[in-house]
Amino acid sequence: MAIEIERKFLVIGDAWKQGAGEFISQGYLSRDPCRTVRVRVKGAEAWLTIKGQSVGASRAEFEYAIPLADAEQLLTLCEGPLVEKIRRIVPHAGMDWEVDEFLGDNAGLVVAEIELESAEQHFEPPPWLGQEVTEDVRYFNSQLAMWPFVTW
Amino acid sequence: MAIEIERKFLVIGDAWKQGAGEFISQGYLSRDPCRTVRVRVKGAEAWLTIKGQSVGASRAEFEYAIPLADAEQLLTLCEGPLVEKIRRIVPHAGMDWEVDEFLGDNAGLVVAEIELESAEQHFEPPPWLGQEVTEDVRYFNSQLAMWPFVTW
C-alpha cells in the first residue's frame, strides 16, 4: 500500500499541450469513494487500482499490474461508461505534472495533478494552472464515469 | 480470466467434518452481483478476486495473488463485516468438495461447493449433501457479509 498525496487543478489556455501524450481508458468496478476499484489500460499495460477514502489530498492506494487481456474483459464488467483521456507529463520547475485531457462525454475538461511528499509541500505553479479542485468530488475520475462533464 | 462453473448445496449432518480445515477471512470492495470484488486471506496467502454476473452456475472470475500486508489493509476498506469461515476439502467419488463452515453472524450455515467442467457435468452426491442453492443470491458470500445467516 502507498499513501497517494495529490493536488488537482483546472488548467487554463493550451501552453501545457506539448507532445502526443498517452491514451488512457479506464472504468470502475466500484465508484464508492470509500473503496474505489479502477481498471486502467494505457497502451499495452494495465492495472487494477484500489483507493480508499480521500482525507484532504491524501488517499490510500493499492496498485497491481494485470494482463492486458484480463483488463479488456474487466472493462466490460465496469459500471457506467469508460473514462477516456490523453495524459501528458508536463515538467515545470523540477516537478512533473500529469495533465489529463478528457475525451468523449468529458471533452472540454482538462485537469492537472501533482503528486507530493506531503500535503503541505511547496511547488511552483505553472502559468497555465487554474483553480484547485483537489477536494471537489465531481472531478474524481470515478464520478466522471457516471456524471460526465457534458451533464454539468 | 476463467469461467467458474460451480454448484452450491446445503449440508446435512456432520459426516463431512473431517480434519481441521483452513480459516478464511474475506471482505468485499464491491458486493454488486455484476462486479463483485473480494479480498481473501487464507493463512499467509491473499488474493483479490473479481467475479462477473452469475448466469446459472457460471461466472467470469479473475484472481490475483496480492501481498498479505496489502490484503490486511484492504480488509479494513471493505464494506460491512468480514465473512469468516473454515474451509475443508472433502473428497467424494473422485471429486473434491469445498465445504465451508461459516462463523460469526453466519454460524450455523454450512455449504458445499463443487467446481465443474460444465454446468451439466454428472457428479455423485455425497450422503451429507442437502438442497441445492446455486442460484439463491442469499448464499452468495458477498451477500452474507451484509445480510448474515443470523438475520434470516
pLDDT at A76 over 90: yes
pLDDT one-digit tens code per residue, A92-151: 999 999 999 999 999 999 999 999 999 889 999 999 999 999 999 999 999 998 999 999
> β-strands B45-52, B2-11: how paired?
unpaired
Query: Which structural domain range is residue A39 located in?
Result: 2-151
- Tell me the catalytic residues of A: 28
Q: What is the ipTM of this complex?
A: 0.89
pLDDT band at B72 (very low <50, low <70, confident <90, very high): very high
Averaged pLDDT for residues A62-80: 96
The average pLDDT across B105-129 equals 95
Residue A1 has pLDDT above 90, yes or no: no
CB contacts, 8 Å: B1 with chain A: 69-70, 73
Overall domain count for chain A: 1
pLDDT at B56 (0 to 100)? 87
Instruction: Please answer whether residues A92 and A126 qualify as being in contact, where contact means their C-beta atoms are separated by less than 8 angstroms.
Output: yes
- A145 in contact with B, Cβ within 8 Å: no
Judged by CB atoms closer than 8 Å, whether chains meet at A37 and B52 is answered as no
Mark which residues 17-76 of A lie under 8 Å from B by CB: 29-30, 32, 34-35, 37, 48, 50, 52, 60, 62, 64, 66, 69-70, 73-74
- Three cell numbers written together for A126: 505553472
Please answer yes or no on whether A77 and B48 come within 8 Å at the CB atom.
no
pLDDT-derived band of residue B57, with 50, 70 and 90 as boundaries?
A: confident
Can you give the CATH number for the domain in which B45 is found? 2.40.320.10
Give which of B19, B20, B13, B55 is closest to B34, Cα–Cα: B55
- Report yes or no: B5 and B117 within 8 Å, Cβ to Cβ: yes
- B118 backbone dihedrals φ, ψ, rounded to 5°: -145, 155
What is the per-residue pLDDT across B3-32, written as a single tens digit (0 to 9) for each?
999 999 999 999 999 888 999 999 999 999
pLDDT of residue A56: 87
